[in-house]
Structure 1
Amino acid sequence: MTYAASPTRYDSMLYRRTGRSGLKLPALSLGLWQNFGGNRDYPGAREIFTTAFDAGITHFDLANNYGPPAGSSEELFGQALARDFKPYRDELIVSTKAGYRMWPGPYGEFGSRKYLLASLDQSLSRLGLDYVDIFYSHRFDPETPLEETMGALAHAVRSGKALYVGISSYPQQETREAHRILAEMGVPCLIHQPSYSVLNRWIETDGTIDACGELGIGMIGFSPLAQGVLSGKYNRGGKSGTRAENSAGSLRPSHLEPRVLDAVDKLGDIAEARGQSMVQLALAWVLRRKEMTSALIGVRTLDQLKDCLGALSNLSLSDDEIRAIDEATKGGLMDLQPRPSGWLR
Structure 2
Amino acid sequence: MSYQPAEDRYESIPYRRVGRSGLQLPAISLGLWQNFGDVTPIDTQRGILRRAFDRGVTHIDLANNYGPPYGAAETNFGRVFAEDFRPFRDELVISTKAGYDMWPGPYGNWGSRKYLLASLDQSLERMGLDYVDIFYSHRVDPETPLEETMGALHTAVTSGRALYAGISSYSPEKTRDAARILGELGTPLLIHQPSYSMFNRWIEDGLLDTVDELGVGVIAFSPLAQGLLTDRYLDGIPENARAAREGSMSRSMINDETLARVRGLAEIAAGRGQTLAQLALSWALRDARVTSALIGASSVKQLDDNLDATKRLDFAADELAAIDEFAKESGINLWQESSDR
Shift of 1:335: 6.3
Shift of 1:258: 1.4
- Give the equivalent residue in structure 2 for 1:45: 45
Kindly report which structure 2 residues correspond to 1:54-65, keeping only aligned pairs within 5 A, or say none: 54-65=54-65
Instruction: Give, as a single letter, the amino acid of the residue that structure 1 aligns with 2:234.
Output: N
Kindly report which structure 2 residues correspond to 1:23-42, keeping only aligned pairs within 5 A, or say none: 23-42=23-42
- Give the equivalent residue in structure 2 for 1:296: 294
Kindly report which structure 2 residues correspond to 1:134-145, keeping only aligned pairs within 5 A, or say none: 134-145=134-145
SS in structure 2 of the partner of residue 219 of structure 1: strand
Shift of 1:62: 0.1
Shift of 1:223: 0.2
Q: Distance in 1 between matches of 2:289 and 2:196?
A: 12
SS in structure 2 of the partner of residue 279 of structure 1: helix
Deviations 1:271-327 (A, max 9, x none): 111111111110010000111000000111112111111111110011111111001
- Report if aligned partners of 2:244, 2:251 keep a CA contact under 8 Å in 1: no
- Give the equivalent residue in structure 1 for 2:204: 204
RMSD: 1.6
- Give the equivalent residue in structure 2 for 1:334: 331
Q: Distance in 2 between matches of 1:36 and 1:216?
A: 32
SS in structure 2 of the partner of residue 191 of structure 1: strand
- Give the equivalent residue in structure 1 for 2:6: 6
- Give the equivalent residue in structure 2 for 1:243: 242
Q: Distance in 2 between matches of 1:13 and 1:329?
A: 26
Q: Distance in 1 between matches of 2:40 and 2:334?
A: 31
Q: Distance in 2 between matches of 1:154 and 1:190?
A: 12
Deviations 1:47-79 (A, max 9, x none): 100000000000000000000100000000001
- Report if aligned partners of 1:193, 1:220 keep a CA contact under 8 Å in 2: yes
- Report if aligned partners of 1:202, 1:337 keep a CA contact under 8 Å in 2: no
- Report if aligned partners of 2:26, 2:56 keep a CA contact under 8 Å in 1: yes
Shift of 1:12: 1.5
The count of corresponding residues between Structure 1 and Structure 2 is 341
Q: Distance in 2 between matches of 1:305 and 1:63?
A: 20
- Report if aligned partners of 1:234, 1:256 keep a CA contact under 8 Å in 2: no
- Report if aligned partners of 1:229, 1:255 keep a CA contact under 8 Å in 2: no
Kindly report which structure 2 residues correspond to 1:306-325, keeping only aligned pairs within 5 A, or say none: 306-325=304-323
Instruction: Give, as a single letter, the amino acid of the residue that structure 2 aligns with 1:235.
Output: L
5+ long unaligned stretches in structure 1: none
Paired-residue identity, %: 58
* Shift in CA distance, 337/43, structure 1 to aligned 2, threshold 3 Å: closer
Shift of 1:5: 0.5
Kindly report which structure 2 residues correspond to 1:50-129, keeping only aligned pairs within 5 A, or say none: 50-129=50-129
Q: Distance in 2 between matches of 1:167 and 1:154?
A: 12
Deviations 1:126-177 (A, max 9, x none): 0000100000000000110000000000000000000001000001110000
Instruction: Give, as a single letter, the amino acid of the residue that structure 1 aligns with 2:37.
Output: G
Instruction: Give, as a single letter, the amino acid of the residue that structure 2 aligns with 1:268.
Output: A
Deviations 1:317-343 (A, max 9, x none): 11111111001234x633627445x67
* Shift in CA distance, 162/68, structure 1 to aligned 2, threshold 3 Å: same
SS in structure 1 of the partner of residue 10 of structure 2: coil
Instruction: Give, as a single letter, the amino acid of the residue that structure 1 aligns with 2:83.
Output: R
Deviations 1:194-241 (A, max 9, x none): 000011001112x11110111100000000000000003123235343
Tell me the TM-score normalised to structure 2 length. 0.97
5+ long unaligned stretches in structure 2: none
- Give the equivalent residue in structure 2 for 1:279: 277
Q: Distance in 1 between matches of 2:18 and 2:87?
A: 25
SS in structure 1 of the partner of residue 29 of structure 2: strand
- Report if aligned partners of 2:242, 2:250 keep a CA contact under 8 Å in 1: no
2:226 is the alignment partner of 1:227: yes
Hey, which bits of structure 1, 4+ residues long, moved more than 4 A?
Answer: none
Q: Distance in 2 between matches of 1:42 and 1:335?
A: 31
Deviations 1:165-193 (A, max 9, x none): 10000011100000000000000100000
- Report if aligned partners of 2:140, 2:339 keep a CA contact under 8 Å in 1: no
Shift of 1:244: 2.4
Tell me the TM-score normalised to structure 1 length. 0.96
